[in-house]
C-alpha cells in the first residue's frame, strides 16, 4: 500500500503554475464524511490516501483515487477512518469489504499516465455497530459533468508527513494536458502543502446545507508534480458507470471492448449467433455481428458475464459502400455445420447467405434471391428454430412492409423449402418497429420478441408451422421503449439458452436483459453507458 502513495512531488514547469500567491492550507479537525485509509499486514500497519463518503442507495460507498488502489496484492485488510485527526477516531473504523474495490479496468490496463482521466475509484464498506457509514457521518453528493470552473472549492487532504488533515479553499480551472503520454482535461486548483499522501482527497462545493464532490486529488501526474498545485480527473459518464458498478455489486465492465455510446449510435443492424469458438468444449457463448452506418461490419466475441460479456472485437469488413446497403441481417445455422451463418437482405432486394462466418471473416457467399422488387419490402428478418424434428436454427421469419409475417422453413444453400403465412397483410404488424428471435421460454422452440412503435414489447411463444400460439405483453406501451432502436438476442450468459435480449437505444446506450422469459425482462446489465 505504501507503494500506492503518490511519488514525492517536485517542481515541474509542465504544471502550469500561476505567478500569483496560492491559497494557504491549514491543519484542522476534519469533516465527518472525509477520512483516510489504514492498511494492516501482520504486525505492520500504515495510513495512506484520503476518501469521501458519497451518497448511495446502500449508504456504504467511499470515493478515492484510482492510483491509491491499483495494486491487486494490496487490496487486503483495509479500513476507512472518517474524520481522522492526530490519532483520534471519533467514528471508529469501517472495514473495506473484500473484493468490493471498484477501479476502472481501463485504468488498470493502460496505467496511471495513459488513463489519467480515469483516476477515481469507489469502495464498499462494512457496517459498524449495525450502521452504514453514510448513516453515521453523512455523504457528499456525487457531481457529474459539473464543469471545470468553480469558486469557491474546498480541498481536503491527508499528507503522509502530517498527523492532521489539511483544509484549503480556492477556485478550480480547466487544465488541458499538453503531454501526449497523459491525455485528457483535468480540474486544477492551487493550494499549498498538499504533499504525498493527499491523493484521493475531495474537491468539495456547497450543495444546499451539504457538500457535493466534483473531483478527488489524482489524475494528471497522480494529482500533480508540486505540493502547491493539485489536479483531479473530470467526473463524467465514466465515473457514473463505475459508481453504478459499485452500487449494483458487479465487476466493472471492460468498456474498452464495446467502446462508447457515441460510436454505438451508428450501429444500424445487429445479429446474435454462434460464430466463434472462444471457449473450450462443445458449448460456447453467442457472438454479436454489427453493421455500422459507414458500412463496416464488426464481430464481437461473446465471453460470458465473468469476462464482461464480450472480450474481443474483430473487423469482418472495413468501412465500404457495399455494406451500407445491408438493410437487415439474420443469423442461423442454415448450412448445418454447427457454426452460424449470416443471411443479408440488401436494399435492392437481393438476399445473400454467408456460410460459416467466424473470426477469420466471410467464407464465400450464396445468392438466395436475385435483386427484385418483392424482397425490397422485407423490412425485418430473423433466424431461429421454428420447426419440430429439426435441430438446426435454419428457419427465417420475415416481416413485410404491408404487415404480412411469413415463416420460411429449412432454409439452406438451395433456397427456401417451405413457406407459412403467420399473419396476412394488416395494419397492426406494420407497427412492428423491430424484432428478434430467441429461445426465451426455454424449450428449444424459438420465440419472437417484437417492439412496437408505441413502445410496447410483446413475446410470441413457440412459433411453428401452425402459426402463433398466444402472446405475452412484456412491456405496456411506453415512451422509453420507443427508443429501443435495434434488438438482438443470443446466448450471452451461463444457462446455455439464447434468451438474453440486447437493446441498442437511440442515444447509443446498449443494454442486455439476461434470461428474459414470459415473466418479463428480469434484470438489466448496461454494456455501453449512455453519453455523458
CATH number at residue 426: 2.120.10
Looking at per-residue confidence, does 115 or 379 come out higher?
A: 379
Same domain, residue pair 284 and 190: no
Looking at per-residue confidence, does 257 or 127 come out higher?
A: 127
Same domain, residue pair 116 and 235: yes
Centroid of chain to Cα 327: 27
259, 265, 268, 272 alpha-carbon torsion, rounded to 10°: 40
The verdict on pTM exceeding 0.75 is no
At which of 247, 282, 303 does a domain end?
Answer: 247
Which run of H or E residues covers position 294? none
Any domain includes 328: yes
At which of 223, 247, 271 does a domain end?
Answer: 247
Give the structural domain span for 428. 255-528
Same domain, residue pair 230 and 289: no
- How many domains does the chain contain in total? 2
Same domain, residue pair 77 and 136: yes
Any domain includes 351: yes
Report pLDDT digits (tens) over 100-145. Answer: 899 988 888 778 998 899 999 999 999 999 999 999 999 999 999 9
| Dist. CA 174–CA 186, nearest whole Å | 6
- Residue 203 belongs to domain with CATH number: 2.40.10.10
Report pLDDT digits (tens) over 408-432. Answer: 999 999 999 889 999 999 999 999 9
Same domain, residue pair 232 and 270: no
Residue 488 has pLDDT above 60, yes or no: yes
Any domain includes 181: yes
Same domain, residue pair 229 and 267: no
| Dist. CA 238–CA 532, nearest whole Å | 8
Cell of 208: 444546499
Q: How many CB atoms lie within 10 A of CB 306?
A: 9
Burial (CB count within 10 angstroms: exposed 0-12, middle 13-18, buried 19+), residue 178: exposed
Same domain, residue pair 276 and 218: no
Nearest to 451 by CA among 463, 436, 434: 434
Question: Band of the pLDDT at 370, cuts 50, 70, 90?
Answer: very high
Lookup result for grid cell 435441430: 391
Average pLDDT, rounded, for the chain:
89
Centroid of chain to Cα 484: 17
Same domain, residue pair 193 and 279: no
Same domain, residue pair 307 and 452: yes
Looking at per-residue confidence, does 115 or 436 come out higher?
A: 436
- Residue 283: predicted pLDDT: 66
Any domain includes 227: yes
Distances from the Cα of 517 to the Cαs of 273, 294, 460, 503, in angstroms?
19, 34, 11, 15
Q: Strand 210-216 and strand 141-142: pairing? A: parallel
| Dist. CA 491–CA 136, nearest whole Å | 44
Same domain, residue pair 219 and 324: no
At which of 247, 278, 298 does a domain end?
Answer: 247
Amino acid at each position: 500500500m505504501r507503494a500506492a502513495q503518490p511519488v514525492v512531488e517536485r517542481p515541474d514547469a509542465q504544471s502550469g503554475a500561476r505567478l500569483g500567491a496560492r491559497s494557504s492550507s491549514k491543519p484542522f479537525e476534519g469533516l465527518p464524511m472525509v477520512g483516510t485509509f489504514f492498511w494492516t499486514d501482520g504486525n505492520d500497519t500504515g495510513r495512506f490516501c484520503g476518501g469521501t463518503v458519497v451518497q448511495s442507495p446502500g449508504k456504504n460507498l467511499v470515493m478515492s483515487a484510482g492510483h491509491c488502489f491499483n495494486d491487486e496484492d494490496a487490496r487486503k485488510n483495509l479500513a476507512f477512518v472518517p474524520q481522522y485527526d492526530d490519532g483520534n477516531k471519533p467514528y471508529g473504523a469501517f472495514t473495506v469489504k473484500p473484493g468490493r474495490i471498484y477501479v476502472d479496468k481501463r485504468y488498470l490496463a493502460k496505467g496511471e499516465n495513459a488513463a489519467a482521466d480515469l483516476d477515481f475509484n469507489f469502495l464498499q464498506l462494512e457496517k459498524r455497530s449495525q450502521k452504514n457509514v453514510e448513516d453515521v457521518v453523512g455523504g457528499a453528493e456525487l457531481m457529474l459533468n459539473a464543469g471545470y470552473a468553480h469558486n469557491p472549492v474546498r480541498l481536503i487532504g491527508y499528507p503522509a508527513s502530517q498527523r492532521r488533515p489539511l483544509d484549503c479553499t480556492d477556485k478550480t480551472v480547466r487544465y488541458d494536458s499538453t503531454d501526449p503520454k497523459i491525455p485528457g482535461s483535468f480540474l486544477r486548483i492551487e493550494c499549498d502543502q498538499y504533499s504525498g499522501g493527499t491523493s484521493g482527497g475531495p474537491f468539495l462545493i456547497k450543495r444546499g446545507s451539504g457538500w457535493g464532490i466534483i473531483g478527488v486529488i489524482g489524475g494528471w501526474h497522480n494529482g500533480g508534480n508540486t505540493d502547491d498545485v493539485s489536479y483531479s480527473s473530470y467526473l463524467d459518464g465514466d465515473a457514473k458507470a463505475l459508481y453504478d458498478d459499485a452500487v449494483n455489486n458487479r465487476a466493472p465492465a471492460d468498456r474498452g471492448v464495446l467502446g462508447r455510446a457515441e460510436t454505438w449510435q451508428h450501429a444500424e443492424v445487429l445479429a446474435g449467433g454462434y460464430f466463434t469458438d472462444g471457449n473450450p468444449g462443445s458449448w460456447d457463448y453467442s457472438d454479436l455481428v454489427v453493421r455500422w452506418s459507414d458500412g463496416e461490419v464488426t464481430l464481437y466475441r461473446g465471453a460470458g458475464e465473468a469476462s464482461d460479456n464480450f472480450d474481443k472485437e474483430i473487423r469482418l469488413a472495413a468501412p465500404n459502400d457495399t455494406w451500407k446497403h445491408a438493410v437487415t441481417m439474420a443469423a442461423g445455422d442454415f448450412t448445418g455445420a454447427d457454426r452460424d451463418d449470416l443471411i443479408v437482405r440488401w436494399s435492392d432486394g437481393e438476399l445473400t447467405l454467408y456460410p460459416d462466418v467466424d473470426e477469420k471473416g466471410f467464407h464465400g457467399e450464396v445468392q438466395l434471391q436475385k435483386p427484385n422488387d418483392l424482397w425490397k419490402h422485407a423490412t425485418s428478418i430473423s433466424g431461429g428454430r421454428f420447426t419440430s424434428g429439426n435441430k438446426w436454427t435454419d428457419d427465417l421469419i420475415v416481416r413485410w412492409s404491408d404487415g404480412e409475417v411469413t415463416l420460411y422453413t429449412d432454409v439452406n444453400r438451395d433456397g427456401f423449402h417451405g413457406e407459412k403465412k403467420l399473419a396476412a397483410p394488416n395494419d397492426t404488424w406494420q407497427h412492428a418497429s423491430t424484432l428478434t428471435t430467441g429461445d426465451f421460454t426455454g424449450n428449444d422452440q424459438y420465440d419472437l420478441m417484437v417492439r412496437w412503435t408505441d413502445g410496447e414489447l410483446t413475446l410470441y411463444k413457440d412459433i411453428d408451422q401452425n402459426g402463433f400460439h398466444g402472446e405475452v405483453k412484456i412491456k405496456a406501451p411506453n415512451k422509453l421503449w420507443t427508443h429501443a432502436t435495434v434488438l438482438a438476442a443470443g446466448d450471452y450468459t451461463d444457462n446455455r439458452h439464447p434468451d438474453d435480449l440486447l437493446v441498442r437505444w437511440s442515444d447509443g446506450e446498449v443494454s442486455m436483459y439476461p434470461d428474459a422469459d414470459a415473466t418479463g425482462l428480469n434484470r438489466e446489465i448496461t454494456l455501453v453507458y449512455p453519453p455523458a
